[in-house]
Amino acid sequence: MRILLIEDDRALAAALCYRLRREGMEAVPETDGAAGYETLKRSDAPFDLIILDRMLPGIDGVTLLARARSAGISTPVLMLTAMDAVRDRVAGLDAGADDYLVKPFAMDELLARVRSLNRRKVPWSPGNTERAADLTLDLDSLTLECAERSVPLSATEAKLLSLLMRNAGQTLTRGVIMSRVWGGADADEGSIDTYIHFVRKRLREARSRASIQTVRGSGYRLERGK
């Protein structure tokens, strides 16, 4: 597993690189946002994961991530932040992060999240698409299409929407969603609500007739609309 680590705290970056390499992973460190973005764009070999600090010199983490997603870079991102307010975490996720970890954190928890994000990656296969209602979800490019509109998704958003689209019209319990999208062990209940919010936003951006309905006391259902 090849990881780009963008963290300006040199002591923390060194400790993270040491531990990641002990776990058999390749860690490429950068301590500046602008340099990290250039490494991401120009690397000869693709990265499997980006560990990204939110507060960076040069370019802050949220801006860097937004630029990467706009450029079509869909590499999963674990954002590190000392800012634990809900609005700050939402800003990072909304920019395209797949997960976040608030500092200070336990190294074992970071490694668990790294492994989880690696498992969560959507595998490529020919014709790897889902269709429901007026929607087409391309799981290769992580792109949602509706009519002539195209909306980029994060890997987690794509996995959640794919599950809902495959089961359009059926209610999926929170337990099923947790198991299928997060593996059931490394996300809290709030993660479901947060990503349902994000996927609803993507549907609005695509101007789709489809909608995600809350089934009180049970879960969620994708309705095709009229």
Averaged pLDDT, 57-72: 86
Average pLDDT in the chain:
85
Is domain 2-120 in CATH 3.40.50.1360, yes or no? no
Domain positions in the chain are 2-120, 129-223
Backbone phi and psi for residue 207, each to the nearest 5 degrees, phi listed first: 60, 40
Most confident by average pLDDT, 2-6, 82-86, 121-125, 217-221: 2-6
Sequence-ordered list of residues with C-beta below 8 angstroms from that of 43, at least 6 positions apart, any chain: 4, 28
What is the DSSP annotation of 2-18?
EEEEE-S-HHHHHHHHH
Top-confidence residue, 183 or 200: 200
pLDDT in tens, 210-221: 999 998 888 899
Top-confidence residue, 86 or 138: 138
Is domain 129-223 in CATH 3.40.50.670, yes or no? no
Residue 126 has pLDDT above 80, yes or no: no
**Dihedral of the CA atoms 103, 107, 110, 112 (nearest 10)?**
-150
Question: Is there a contact between 192 and 178 (Cβ–Cβ < 8 Å)?
Answer: yes
State residue 9's pLDDT score: 93
Residue 55 has pLDDT above 50, yes or no: yes
